[in-house]
Each structure stands twice: as structure tokens, then as C-alpha cells.
Amino acid sequence: MGTRGPVPKRSDQRRRANKPTSGEVSKAPAAAVVPVPETAEEWHPVAQRWFDSLAESGQSRFYEPSDWATAYLVAESISRDLNPQFVGVTAGDSSEPIYEVIPLKGASLSAYLKAFGNLLTTEGDRRRASIELQREQSVDADEDASVTALDSYRAQLEA
């Protein structure tokens, strides 16, 4: 995964640009095209939303089939934990099962958070793995024109 400890700063926020890298990296060919699995219709809406968000996130371009399989398993487990669960049977001759929504267990939440970290789902996890996602910067035409106009004024003053 990455290093432990505090989340490193983004590369453009570091004071030392000459910080040594963490060592040799072993490289292997990646899968050619990795299809994103479909969400299961019976999943809890929270599990579906989380799984769908992975496909839209920038780090998913690094995912291999095994990463998607891990994410699928985590989403399935989240769905099972959030959906009503068997808690017992009714008394009497009918003995019908009772299903209730029960609170998420702390151990389950801890396991999910660890899995999220392994899948680089948070900014801190990505920074620890030395991955920074950049959003496209939209160019404001008015701002670009004003800079050009200021440059022309500056050139006239210097002449």
C-alpha cells in the first residue's frame, strides 16, 4: 500500500522537491482492458452507490481484475450488513423467521475501512501510495483575454 504515519503533502505543497523516492519498483504488464463488473440489483443502495463511485473515480484506471473482485466482495458484504438480517423465529406453532436491521458492527466497519484503503478510495490513501489525481482546469476565456490585454498594455508602456 504505502507508508504509515501522517498523510504526506501533495507534491506541489512540499518544501523539498528533491525528496528521495522510496526505492525500486517492480513492474509487470497490466491487463489490457479491465471491464467494470455490474452492481447486483439486490444490493443495498449504499453498497451500490459505493461500488458505482469506484468506476467514476480516477484511481480505478489502475485497477486490475483482482481489484474489482475485491471491491465486489466488499460491496456484497456491505449490502449484507446493511440489509435486514435473521435474528430469530417467532414463538408458537408457525415459527416464522424474524429479520431486523441491526447496527453495523465495529469490526465490520474497521474491515471495510481497511479494504477502502487498499483500494485507494481516499485522498490520504492515494498520497501514501504516491498517486495524485488532477482535475482538468477549465480556462476562463474572460480571464485569459484580460491577461492578454494587460500584456499588450505593459508592452506599450515599455516602448
Does residue 2 have a pLDDT over 60? no
Given the C-alpha cell 466497519, which residue does it identify? 109
Which H or E run includes 86?
A: strand 85-89
Q: What is the pLDDT of residues 67-115, one digit of tens each?
A: 999 999 999 999 999 999 898 998 877 888 989 999 999 999 999 999 9
Q: What is the pLDDT of residues 139-157, one digit of tens each?
A: 666 666 677 777 777 788 7
Whether the model pTM is above 0.95: no
Residue 72, C-beta contacts closer than 8 angstroms, at least 6 positions apart: 37, 51
Looking at per-residue confidence, does 121 or 92 come out higher?
Answer: 121
Specify the 3-state DSSP secondary structure of 43: coil
| Percent of the chain that is helix, strand, coil (3-state, to 5) | 45, 5, 45
Q: In whole numbers, what is the pLDDT of the chain averaged over residues?
A: 83
